[in-house]
Structure 1
């Protein structure tokens, strides 16, 4: 042991001469464990202390300058695990979440641990809400029981010790060049308490060999928010990958939103684009310069290429430039301004065609008035930097209503087409209008439309003919068609019937309800992709609207689906949610007429694509529009043995910006190779892996049975656990009381259970097909940073949170510590918050003290509280300000347009609402679904009863 070590009271360290390392022993329980092995010869026993005096809250993690993997027969976990509790702090669940390991945070996680790194949101809000309480930590003590508390029984020194242990485990995002991968740490899942903060850990470190990268810039390898791999060490053979049972794939979010504090993607403006002559890869930080710097060697195919003449020339200053400062050699993500040879036509302008349902259901729900008002208020937010943006509005019920506005006009004329069998445009011009030239007339039209159809009692929806008309209107230029529908399409092409049948819910026939009922929408999508048209669906129907069928248009045209069941604008929460999300979609800087190609190093290929894309060829994806923060999962296949020390994946996104500039976004990810299965396991990124498996499960549930998708997920998990047990533990193929997995995958079984219990896949006869179809649409498009809380919700205890939570720290609002997802944490006098990025539940215990009810709800007692959807009042007291600050933080901290509604849930309130909220606590048993403990037992039995090779 090097350096001064400190152990908790009652622990001693003894040197084992046979094994050449220390054995730590708890004298109270007689529990013992090995220290991690070290490189090289055994430590000199003469230099060891026989006992180590305990320090305040510090665990015995030895400070090693080197590490290596555990031997195959020594897989007992050193960090984590229920039986390891005496090693570190007894608990760090009671500490508040602070940002970035800064001052006062206790340093639990490394600086730079953001939502993108670990799949969860940043800790601080970027701005300071109006309810900041002067930096104080208000916390009135309430009578029995108090609902303000400190940070639990353990203080910050323990947090710092835990941070030291984590840092020794190598929990940093990018490793130093040339270092060996960290050793494999094994965890026994049985009996180990769940810590939700594990999901905040960054992906396993990427350890590239020396000299792999030209740059020392930490941004030279892809940030996980843009591209992440399910494994951060690639096996050299397909047999090794197959043996591990790990699915190999990439999770790609090429058009990630840029928030405060994010590094924008740098832009190469000189149009000097160096590409490989053979594989067409773009020059990047992982190429090699040869022949005195006159040529460069491609890192994908090893082809030798000439360096462009102007590569070392500053065209703006007309003088030689420093090659090593070029952006593309220092950044993994860059935007190239594309020259004319990358264009087949002038850059497409932003075009928005609104198809607006004006049937009685749409008008009476307030959807029409809310939609038109939101469009009106968003006109200044629409991308229109070069004044080329165009807009059209087509209303539909049993007929099509076109609106014509001449340039400079202030009044719109309405033209009605009732022929739905042969759709035509009633006027050749002035239907698709320039936003800048017809602004006054468009504003007048939108102002009137909210009341224009108030007296309409028409029942029926000609959505299909409206889509045909919108397509004809913009086919020559490309567009984003936005459909706002409040009823099932019943007239003309694409008419649908109500096929909702409660008898088939929960049976093998349920998957048929998740498949398209009409080929019209898929065929229309193919036409739209050809002409660069993307479709977004906003669906509001209070009854069945066949989301599964209508989602085919967004799915194949790179659009999005948004569902608002039982929408009623008279409820302010409904109107605010829709207006916010609709406005964010309109204002987002989408990419236009785009294609994506992902190129791997020689010996690998992209085998399968998942997400809202159209696969034009085996390696080319077509996206009429590239929405912000939409994710795509790609499966990778190893076809030949990999003989290089590292491999490279490069994504190229050719698109037109909203400002009319043709650009190529290039994202490069380099990963080391390995022929060691232990290194492969220790490199698994559980967040990326569950994202890939969620996409595969959704597609399987639609093409096969729902049960097949659930079984495939559990079988994949069982295969991984069984293979790990057989190859990485001393138990081998025999029975074992433990259920072992590598430390970096310890949350993976819980994420799988969360996916099995999710609305999109759950075994239930009570889930309406529209809700299930919409949930599956989200599972297949959300980026990892949104997907993880969607399947593993976040659970906060508010009544006893530390006093600094809900106040402003160095970087924004401080959140409470997340709790395990079990009802055991619920208290009858408590106030709890559960959220999954789409919904927020505020759970109120039946014995909540009157003062809490006054401070949060402005009500004298619990009996006066009504459950359901509501907006929490902002009251003039510190606790109300803190709770509202946390809710506001939860709503804005994640990427994407979504604004979750808040539901107040009383412990003895309406059973459906209570069950909905409790279904988020995925560690509990629910109906036929097991608890997490029961699930692990089932997995252990399967692993012990199966044979793996």
Structure 2
């Protein structure tokens, strides 16, 4: 039977954009499928070790694979848009494939992989090039009988200390090569001496907070990371249940059965509304000190503000249980967020750390107070719309910068009932490397467990604070240089990035550019990223990631090892970074033109004998059009009306998330639960790993009314239930056989003693493990009954929805652009490319 001969009608959705002009009849089965590539790659690598050598095909980010570090860092740490570098800038331009690196230095590894080695050179510190200051790595060479090493980045020879000397063998390798991780592993952690300690920022003429003591100066001894939990106790936080959920979550993380708070770390708890409340945790009575001056804040106590939870468990538990009751009747409407951030800065000055804020209302009082809500409807699709995506008060940028200078990261839980201005307050989290958690219309029943998992992941994951990052590239006579950074960080100069915190879930992208001339086609281009950071337990480290990339002369080789995931990641980030200066319509057009340019370049350089009427797609970029369509349908860029809070939150997430998370956000995995294979979701008897089912295409054309489907983009997980579903399937999943009796407010799928229930729960648990313990909000969408079906339909990327075309129509647009250039000459975009100029 034809796969969509009995398909359901398209679910209710917001109007999409229709194709204009002559439309060719396209069979959906004949167009490239993103799901086929994902499933093929997953099956290919699940039982194969990736050797990680230059010139090899790289697994997709969505595949679980075991990598072998043989001098090149794993793609989990560094992923390139192309793993073969064009030998000239002209070839790079002709290929139209951006040259960029995606860096995730603290990424989690598969449990089957060897951990990142730790190398200690004692007081000497790691060997570094005298000229370019690159760290020693597997791609350097040895000279003078082992007395010096030649830097692979700048070719300078640097002598080694007598303690590090070793004789060379017949292959000019050190005799102890295999015993030295820094000489055979691409990713290494170096222990560093006091020379690498962070420095306290110089004293400012105007301090952001009041202190009777002068600010600390000079180098800062590494300490275990300290945490400040800042709790909004306004009436909205109490009413919504956020305050109670936050206190319960903190208590469980500190003292619960699976407590995960770092044993050497200290914490402080601050509550705030119209005033700031500091709590003395050293006293059994836990007195509360109130600071009413929220314009010039100060910390009223030093001793007792920070304590180790294990030493003061009774006092902390007493306070966390008392806070929700204490402010139940006396809560104020406002909460001074800017003031509490400056107070947290004052509390952590000289030590660094992480501030975790729970906020439920837009800050209208105190430092950086914001005016009323803007009239967004009047700004959409105008030249002023970009003002919605930048801070309305630059003090928020200043607060973020001040925190970074002191080695402080800020993460925020935003649980509000109305507009909160994420574009302003969220910039603090963006600049410091922190995270935003977004829970509009917070409900403890629906969102409490998700919030708990988010904060637990925030505490448990690998994290560094007081971070400085630099990326170095080959810089001989001709070099590939860093031209642009993109992500959530603070960049003071041209080379160094600073972050208050950097964790396992965060990634940054780096654009590389030819400086001119010709690279050696028989050689390699080298890249090294180095992150100087302090660990949670208080040790100063440098993590280096290294790559050697072959140089090629043919465009075919550039496309052969191009990386779809990294290219999509780079393009969408570059588009989102322009939201504060460009109209969204222009950004969407640019994305389409970028997609068409890549496909046109492949056509011209690798397949120019084909008919103009034939759409030719390179193997590596078969999924580029559908992912580009997904970019235009994501909530921060889509054409339909979306609140600026949602756009700004989604933009922040995309500018920080990993490559895998982004690919699943742009094209969410869709499963047919009613049609699972017998072994799907069950442990493999040979390996013990869960057997994962293949995913299906994101379109109603492949769905049936008797089916049950699950879609998950990392933010929301929606179970769609067809009106003709079998009662037996309902019994196996929900324990009831009546379609109309299913509770649409259900936030957790029940666990039943049925095989189908076991299969589904195993699949969900596997996804949760993949995300480090985080999981999505769960919604039920019964066919033509529940509001969640609107969100479900917008996640079907291949359908006509979310203010954009269907996949088949979008392919026609891309093909038309390519045919026009092939027929008339010129470039993709033509005169439209001038729209951003002064003309």
- TM surpasses 0.5: yes
**Aligned partner of 2:338 among 437, 441, 464:** 464
User: Against the structure 1 CA distance between its residues 730 and 424, is the aligned structure 2 distance closer, same or farther, given a 3 Å change threshold?
Assistant: closer
Give 2:587's aligned residue. 709
How far off is 1:600 after superposition?
Answer: 0.3
Structure 2: how far apart are the matches of 1:323 and 1:830?
58
Give 1:152's aligned residue. none
Query: Are 1:480 and 1:535, in contact at CA under 8 Å, matched by a contact in 2?
Result: yes
* SS in structure 2 of the partner of residue 840 of structure 1: strand
* SS in structure 2 of the partner of residue 720 of structure 1: helix
* SS in structure 2 of the partner of residue 466 of structure 1: helix
Deviations 1:554-600 (A, max 9, x none): 1111111111111121x1x3111111111221233421211111110
**Aligned partner of 1:516 among 380, 385, 391:** 391
Judging by fraction of residues, say which structure has more helix: 2
How far off is 1:227 after superposition?
Answer: 0.6
Query: Are 2:254 and 2:260, in contact at CA under 8 Å, matched by a contact in 1?
Result: yes
State whether structure 2 residue 802 is matched by structure 1 residue 907.
Answer: no
State whether structure 2 residue 195 is matched by structure 1 residue 338.
Answer: no
User: Against the structure 1 CA distance between its residues 891 and 218, is the aligned structure 2 distance closer, same or farther, given a 3 Å change threshold?
Assistant: closer
Query: Are 1:98 and 1:815, in contact at CA under 8 Å, matched by a contact in 2?
Result: no
Structure 2: how far apart are the matches of 1:222 and 1:926?
40
**Aligned partner of 2:433 among 544, 558, 581:** 558
Give 1:774's aligned residue. 649
Query: Are 1:533 and 1:624, in contact at CA under 8 Å, matched by a contact in 2?
Result: yes
Give 2:763's aligned residue. 886
Trace 1:88-487 onto structure 2 (pairs within 5 A): 108-109=44-45, 111-112=47-48, 174=52, 200=62, 218-271=69-122, 273-311=126-164, 322-343=176-197, 344-379=219-254, 381=259, 384-385=262-263, 387=264, 389-406=265-282, 409-487=283-361
Structure 2: how far apart are the matches of 1:641 and 1:411?
72
How far off is 1:428 after superposition?
Answer: 4.4
Deviations 1:18-71 (A, max 9, x none): xxxxxxxxxxxxxxxxxxxxxxxxxxxxxxxxxxxxxxxxxxxxxxxxxxxxxx
Query: Are 1:373 and 1:450, in contact at CA under 8 Å, matched by a contact in 2?
Result: no
**Aligned partner of 2:693 among 813, 816, 831:** 816
Structure 1: how far apart are the matches of 2:490 and 2:461?
21
State whether structure 2 residue 547 is matched by structure 1 residue 669.
Answer: yes
Runs of 4+ in 1 over 6 A off after TM superposition: 81-85, 91-100
Query: Are 2:416 and 2:440, in contact at CA under 8 Å, matched by a contact in 1?
Result: yes
How far off is 1:110 after superposition?
Answer: 6.2
State which drifts further: 533-542 or 345-354.
Answer: 345-354
TM-score by length of 1: 0.76
**Aligned partner of 2:525 among 642, 647, 657:** 647
User: Against the structure 1 CA distance between its residues 649 and 448, is the aligned structure 2 distance closer, same or farther, given a 3 Å change threshold?
Assistant: same
User: Against the structure 1 CA distance between its residues 908 and 327, is the aligned structure 2 distance closer, same or farther, given a 3 Å change threshold?
Assistant: same
**Aligned partner of 1:844 among 687, 708, 721:** 721
* SS in structure 1 of the partner of residue 630 of structure 2: helix
Query: Are 1:98 and 1:814, in contact at CA under 8 Å, matched by a contact in 2?
Result: no
Deviations 1:797-822 (A, max 9, x none): 11112111121112422221111111
Give 1:722's aligned residue. 600
Structure 2: how far apart are the matches of 1:758 and 1:723?
27
State whether structure 2 residue 555 is matched by structure 1 residue 694.
Answer: no
* SS in structure 2 of the partner of residue 703 of structure 1: coil
Give 2:401's aligned residue. 526
Aligned-CA RMSD value: 2.8
How far off is 1:477 after superposition?
Answer: 1.6
User: Against the structure 1 CA distance between its residues 323 and 258, is the aligned structure 2 distance closer, same or farther, given a 3 Å change threshold?
Assistant: closer
* Count of aligned pairs: 755
Query: Are 1:867 and 1:909, in contact at CA under 8 Å, matched by a contact in 2?
Result: no
Give 1:587's aligned residue. 460
* SS in structure 2 of the partner of residue 552 of structure 1: helix
Query: Are 1:222 and 1:228, in contact at CA under 8 Å, matched by a contact in 2?
Result: no
Query: Are 2:76 and 2:109, in contact at CA under 8 Å, matched by a contact in 1?
Result: no
State whether structure 2 residue 661 is matched by structure 1 residue 786.
Answer: yes
Query: Are 2:718 and 2:788, in contact at CA under 8 Å, matched by a contact in 1?
Result: no
* SS in structure 2 of the partner of residue 778 of structure 1: helix
Gaps of 5+ in 2: 1-27, 168-173, 198-218, 828-839
Deviations 1:382-438 (A, max 9, x none): 5544x3x222121111111111133xx322001112222322323343323344543
Give 1:104's aligned residue. none
Structure 2: how far apart are the matches of 1:908 and 1:267?
57
* SS in structure 2 of the partner of residue 777 of structure 1: helix
Query: Are 1:198 and 1:747, in contact at CA under 8 Å, matched by a contact in 2?
Result: no
User: Against the structure 1 CA distance between its residues 763 and 95, is the aligned structure 2 distance closer, same or farther, given a 3 Å change threshold?
Assistant: closer
How far off is 1:702 after superposition?
Answer: 2.0
Give 2:480's aligned residue. 604
* SS in structure 2 of the partner of residue 544 of structure 1: coil
User: Against the structure 1 CA distance between its residues 828 and 898, is the aligned structure 2 distance closer, same or farther, given a 3 Å change threshold?
Assistant: same
**Aligned partner of 1:623 among 472, 496, 499:** 499
Structure 1: how far apart are the matches of 2:563 and 2:638?
25
How far off is 1:920 after superposition?
Answer: 1.2
How far off is 1:279 after superposition?
Answer: 0.9
* SS in structure 2 of the partner of residue 617 of structure 1: coil
Structure 2: how far apart are the matches of 1:549 and 1:579?
25
TM-score by length of 2: 0.85
Structure 1: how far apart are the matches of 2:712 and 2:748?
15
User: Against the structure 1 CA distance between its residues 84 and 890, is the aligned structure 2 distance closer, same or farther, given a 3 Å change threshold?
Assistant: closer
Deviations 1:450-471 (A, max 9, x none): 3221223421111111122212
Give 1:537's aligned residue. 412
* SS in structure 2 of the partner of residue 562 of structure 1: strand
